A and B are shown apart, each in its own frame.
Chain A
Amino acid sequence: MKNQDDSYLMKYLQNGHETSFRVIADQWYPAIYRFAYHYFGNRADAAEIAQKTMIKVHQNLQTLENQDSFKSWIYRIANNLCLDELKRAGRRKSTPLESVSLKNLLDERTPSTELETKELNGAIEKALAELPDDLREVVVLKQFENLTFREIAEILKIPESTAKTRMYNGLNELGSILKRWNINTNYLNRDG
């Protein structure tokens, strides 16, 4: 249904109804912000990417021929901007785990406090940053944005089977990294 709404809104927008953009921005800014946040792990970059994405969408809205593929299109724009930002900033990922405070988290299996959740989030951010770009983009789109493999394949212009293999490798690698850092990946399963 959301896809259909987006395609209608895009049609309106392409026909000069600027107010439609407000609705699109309201709907998509948070999603793109979250996507970029998972990519970079910080709010400033996430906000910048989300805003740039909205501006690019507005600038290039006439180039979108098939309005039904709006979702893939906007994620592709955001993903390309993230990759550009990575190249521009020349980030290298291997941040030592010592910089992440995990002292209570590692052994005690009670991640109930807010502090511990923050620490876990910090560790996951670092682990994600360790992944190669091609694996991270698939992990972020699948794990955090809940897109289907078909949608991911469309966004990244890769075969669906490649998206699945990359997701497998990404999860596998993340699991290894977390284990290397002595983060017990089973403790959250207690609730489930």
Chain B
Amino acid sequence: MDRKSKQQLMDYLFDEMNSDEREAFESKLRSNRELRERLEELKATHSVLSAYGKDLEVNMPAADLAKPFAGYNSEEKVHKLKYVWMAAAAVLIITIFTGLFHSVQFGKTEQGYYLAFGQPPVTKGIAEEEVNEMLTQIQAENALMLNSMMEQIRQEQTTQFNESLTALADYYEERRNRDLMLFTEGLLQLEENTANQIDQTNRALNGIIYALSNE
């Protein structure tokens, strides 16, 4: 069977033909016994397969599926939130009842509000002189600390400056010495070259004189 007929059989079997194509194919079927038989066989197999897995039940593993995704299961979140509220309410009720039985005290001090069982907290005032004395002491300590820090910083800076100056001086000294050495070497070389040139010139002149005198 040719490839086109196979594809047409599939389109026909799975109802993927338009009306014109269907009509043309049915006409072809009527005139082609082999094609008809193939279609019947395919239909039979298709029918058997259609029965397969129809009653398959799928259990949604909602809890497992939710694990990799944060905030995925909103129902679970609501459930958890409910428990938190219930716990908070229980704590509040226990506190109220304990307060009733143990003369709970609630009031206000200079520092703010208080809630206590039994005697209220005793507030102790501080005299103005004591406050002034504390302030003076803190200021003195701060000044000392500041001076000490400033002195330390100044010393560090001076040390760093001196070290930098020494390093710079060393560098220039070394450079000066190197330049001097190079200059001296250059002079010596020049002197040597000049002597050589004079020597060569003399020899050449002697040669010329000798040649002229022989003539």
Chain A: residues with CB nearer than 8 A to chain B?
18-19, 21-22, 25-26, 29-30, 33-34, 37-38, 47, 51, 54-55, 58, 111, 117, 120-121, 124-125, 139, 142-144, 148-149, 161, 164-165, 167-169, 171-172, 174-175, 178, 183, 185-186, 188-189, 192
Contact = CB atoms under 8 A, between A and B. Distances in A.
B48 A185 contact: yes
B112 to A, nearest CB: 42
A124 B7 contact: no
Given A149-B10, A175-B41, A29 B60 contact: yes
Contact of B53 (A18, A144, A148): A144
Interface residues of B, number: 36
Contacts of A29: 58, 60, 65
Given A34-B58, A149-B16, A51 B65 contact: yes
Contact of A183 (B6, B48, B53, B69): B48
Given A58-B68, A121-B53, A142-B14, 20 more contacts: A18-B69, A19-B71, A19-B74, A29-B65, A47-B61, A51-B64, A111-B51, A121-B52, A124-B49, A139-B49, A143-B46, A144-B52, A144-B53, A165-B6, A168-B7, A171-B46, A172-B41, A183-B48, A188-B50, A189-B43
A185 B52 CA distance: 13
Contacts of A188: 47-48, 50-51
A92 to B, nearest CB: 22
10 contacts: A34-B56, A121-B53, A124-B49, A149-B14, A161-B3, A161-B7, A167-B14, A172-B45, A185-B45, A189-B44
Interface of B: 3, 6-7, 9-11, 14, 16, 41-53, 55-56, 58-61, 64-65, 68-74
Given A161-B7, A167-B10, A174 B61 contact: no
Contacts of B46: 143, 171
Contacts of B43: 189
A34 B21 CA distance: 32
B42 A172 contact: yes
Contacts of A161: 3, 7
B73 A22 contact: yes
Contact of B72 (A21, A47, A144, A192): A21
Task: Find the residue from B6, B7, B41, B49 having the highest chain A CB count within 10 A.
Answer: B49
A25 B67 CA distance: 13
Nearest to B74: A19
The 9 A-B residue pairs with the shortest CB-CB distance, nearest first, are A185-B44, A175-B45, A164-B7, A30-B58, A168-B6, A124-B52, A164-B10, A33-B58, A188-B47
A175 B42 contact: yes
B55 to A, nearest CB: 7
B34 to A, nearest CB: 14
B48 A21 contact: no
Nearest to B49: A143
Contacts of A51: 61, 64-65
Contacts of A164: 6-7, 10-11
A167 B11 CA distance: 10
Contact of A55 (B48, B58, B60, B68): B68
A58 B69 CA distance: 8
A165 B3 contact: yes
A21 B71 CA distance: 10
Contacts of B51: 111, 117, 120, 188
Task: Find the residue from A54, A58, A125, A185 having the highest chain B CB count within 10 A.
Answer: A185
Contacts of B64: 51
A37 B56 contact: yes
Contacts of B11: 149, 164
